[in-house]
Amino acid sequence: MEQVSGQKRTAHQFLYPPVDAYDQRMIETGDGHRIYVEQCGSPEGIPVVVVHGGPGGGCSPAMRRYFDPAAYRVILFDQRGCGRSRPHASVENNTTWHLVADMERIREELGVDRWIVFGGSWGATLSLVYAITHPERAAYLALRGVFLMTPRELGWFYGGGAGQFWPDVWDRFVRLIPEEERGDLIAAYHRRLFSGDTMVEIRYARAWAAWENALASIQSQGLQHDSPADYARAFSRLENHYFINGGFLGSPDWILENAARIADVPGTIVQGRYDMICPPQSAWALSRAWARAELKLVPNAGHALSEPGISAELVRITNALRRERARLGL
């Protein structure tokens, strides 16, 4: 573990001080959802939209701190069904394409022409789908812990690949499912997360969330704890809903097949070398398919946004982009 002045490094050493939102609002989608949106930093700053992970994770105040508040207009939102968006844990009218449309609705309501798109994990997936769909609106992509929504990636995490490194943690995740259903754990958990029995849904939601959370950070890999019931239920139901439907992309390799559409969009991929949730192969493949991508492999780092090396690299990127406003057309 690296040391700084005799202390273990933490992400907070690299982040800007906490900042309050100057604008908070709910945006009606017109199809039954209300999306929570907030803005912080400078109203005249460089617009950047922060795309949280999950699906179903929600945004947090810590995500505001990756940007100089004097230089950036930081826009955060909770995707459909999670965080402060309503209805909570709902999967009705909730697909990747609904979320892409929500991002455009937010951009238009806030009067933003083009923006930097900043997302990690599932947030990187959604950022890429958004940019491929609206390349003229994405001035720059800052991505972390790339996930391409492929069967190979889902098989790694829910088919036993990661479980080979964490057999004890994997056993706790698998043992809740009868042996005859273990050939497709996503489907097995789906039946229980959508059983209609709230207590059953919460039990399996906590197990689903605990498996992922235990492997998120290299500093705490293997540790498990129960998430609050409301959070776990929304997170697990939404994530499972997206995974069992292949992200609603229609093709297993949709992002790589369409990467040419962002050939003129610059960006950086920040990837933990020891990411157990989204192994580096996907980031590597994306960097080969995306002409203007720069790949930064961070040693001694796992998946989480809060990894010190990942936080340091992301802040370095946002600091460097402050000088690029004119060139990026922002």
**Distance between CA atoms of residues 293 and 316, nearest Å:** 16
85, 90, 121, 217: the catalytic one is 121
What Cα–Cα distance (Å) separates residue 104 from each residue in 110, 123, 136?
10, 15, 12
User: Does residue 140 contact residue 118 with C-beta atoms inside 8 Å?
Assistant: no
Residue found under tokens 């989480």: 304
Catalytic residue among 52, 227, 303, 311: 303
CA dist 164 and 177 (Å) reads 18
Torsion angle in degrees (nearest 10) through CA of 197, 77, 38, 234: 10
Residue in 275, 282, 287, 311 annotated catalytic: 275
- In the residue annotation, 52 being an active-site residue is answered as no
CB 173 within 8 A of CB 211: yes
Residue 99: alpha-carbon gap to chain centroid: 13
12 in catalytic set: no
Contact 100, 133 (CB under 8 A): yes
Give the side-chain half-sphere CA count within 13 A for 55: 29
In the residue annotation, 303 being an active-site residue is answered as yes
Active site positions, annotated: 121, 275, 303
